[in-house]
Structures are given as C-alpha cells and as structure tokens.
Amino acid sequence: MNFSKDTIVIKSLTNTLKTNKLSHAYLVIGEDSLYCDEFILSFVKAIFCLENKNNEFFSCEECKNCHSINHSNYIDFYRLTSESSIKKEEIQMLKSDLSVKSFYGKKIYWIKDIEKMTEQAANSLLKFLEEPEDDIIAILSCKNISAVLPTIISRCQQIKLVGQSENTEIEKNEELIHVVNEYVRRYINKPHLANIYLLEKLKTKDDIVDLFKHLSIKINNSYTENNLHDALNISRVQEKVLLAVTDLNSNVNATLVLEKFLFTVLLENNNLEFLIRG
C-alpha cells in the first residue's frame, strides 16, 4: 500500500518510534477502511518487526513477527472487530486477555470501528484507557469521529488519515467516467435535466475537483485528432474548465462553480460529444 498522502503522519510516528515515546492510546480516523487497516497493520509491524533496527515506520514482511501479524496470530497483538456492535462482554474479555504478561515487552490491542461500541462497552473501555499500563498500547479506529464519545477522544492521540487504497481510487474514477458519459448523453437530449443530474451526482468538493481534473485530461487528449471546427468548440469548453479550476483554487464554493460551468455550457450551446469519444 502506498501511504504517500500521509507522509506528515508517518514522519511524526517515525519520530515517536525513534525516541521510543509511543502513546498509550491512538485513535486512527480514516474514511477508507482498507487503507486505514493497512496503515494500522504497518504501524504495528513497525513496532514488532525484528528487522526494524533503526526504528523507522518500516516492516520487513519477512521475519517471524511480520509473518505472524499478517496471519493474525501474533501473540501480543489483539484485534477486536465486529460486524454489528461491539459489546461490553467483548471489551471485558479483551481486558482479561491483556492482563497476561507480554512475551516481548509490549502488547497492542486494536479495536476496529469503535463507532460500533455499545454505550456500556464504551464506558468499560474508557475505564481501561484511564488507567494505562506501561506495556499496553491501544489502537482504536473509526471512520467518523463525530460518532465517538468525547471522553474517549480526549484520552487518545489522534491520527487522521487522508489517503485511499488504490482500488478505491480506481473505482471512484470509473464511477466518475460513467457519470460524465451519462451527463453528456442526457445533455444532447435534455440539457436542463442533464444539469440537474450532474448536480445531484456530484455533491462534495472532492467530487467536483475530480470532475474538472477529468475534463482537463479529456480535453487535452481531444485536440490532436480533431478538425478546426471541433478545436474551436473544444477550446470554448476548455476556457470554462480553466475558469472553474481557478475558482476552485481560490476556494469559491464548489457547487456554485459547478453550477456556473454547467449553465454557461448550456447558454453557449457547446457541443460536448467529444467528451464521450474514445
């Protein structure tokens, strides 16, 4: 997994590893579950890896500790996950497992999706977090921090991840191409309805930024193979895309930028068919 979008977080954790100042509890917040899980496993492996002699954010993936962690059978690493809800009994069971002395000096437990904890479970965990033991590290992870008790948040060092797994990016890209194709198809028949369709599909700033990135690439690729008439039409659309990108960069509200783009395209009756070619 490529963690390049979270280099700041990695630098800070590297520093922690090098100075041996690990916190008692981490709260990892990341929207992409797969990416978040991989990140946590890499962190845990960096702590236990036998070849990580320089204490970097590194794991060799070859030593017996790395192997055991990858196969979910490392003796000092506990994970708690649940499809539905995490109950108090599960937290109590975890506590009793953790009361056994560690083999190699440290024990780590990871509770995934802590939004799923029942209130009783959260309270039970809270007591545990309040009395940290030197050799135990808690890693809690969630997608949505607003669903986590403030008392739990305040006892953890927060790690906010922004990266995404490659699969998610590919899926997002495919979804965007589909949406653009659908928009152009509708635009040819009923332009007003096409605008409404796109505005409903692209709601977040990220979606809208991605759309204009996609359009810029598409436009650049369209120039070469077209005649003069097409080129004129394409350059008119390109002007609007560039204007939208400038507005987005100066933090104009993304939905307004998209609306403006769509309605000026409509007003000038630009031909958009080149966007769905190839």
What 8-state DSSP symbol labels residue 73? Answer: -
Site string for Zn ion, 54-73 (x = CB under 5 A): -----xx--x--x-------
Nearest CB to Zn ion, comparing residues 49 and 180? 49
- Of the candidate spans 46-54, 140-148, 180-188, 202-210, the one that interacts with Zn ion by CB under 5 A turns out to be 46-54
Site for Zn ion in 125-144 (CB under 5 A): none
Query: Is 26 in contact with 137 (CB distance < 8 Å)?
Result: yes
- Of the candidate spans 5-13, 24-32, 51-59, 202-210, the one that interacts with Zn ion by CB under 5 A turns out to be 51-59
Residue 145 C-beta: closest distance to Zn ion, Å: 31
CA angle 239, 243, 247 (to 5 degrees): 170
Residue 121: enclosing H or E segment and its boundaries?
A: helix 119-130
Nearest CB to Zn ion, comparing residues 71 and 229? 71
3-state secondary structure at position 142: strand
Sole binder of Zn ion in the list 49, 208, 211, 237 (CB under 5 A): 49
What 8-state DSSP symbol labels residue 135? Answer: T
User: Of 275, 37, 11, 31, whose CA–CA distance to 169 is shortest?
Assistant: 31
Nearest CB to Zn ion, comparing residues 51 and 171? 51
Nearest CB to Zn ion, comparing residues 59 and 195? 59
Q: CB atoms < 10 A from the CB of 90, how many?
A: 19
Site for Zn ion in 75-114 (CB under 5 A): none
Site for Zn ion in 189-218 (CB under 5 A): none
- Of the candidate spans 50-58, 76-84, 197-205, 227-235, the one that interacts with Zn ion by CB under 5 A turns out to be 50-58
Distances in Å between the alpha carbon of 141 and those of 36, 77, 206, 231, 264? Answer: 8, 15, 23, 51, 44
CA-CA distance, 181 to 216, in Å (whole number)? 15
Residues at the site binding Zn ion, with contacts judged by CB under 5 A = 49, 51, 59-60, 63, 66
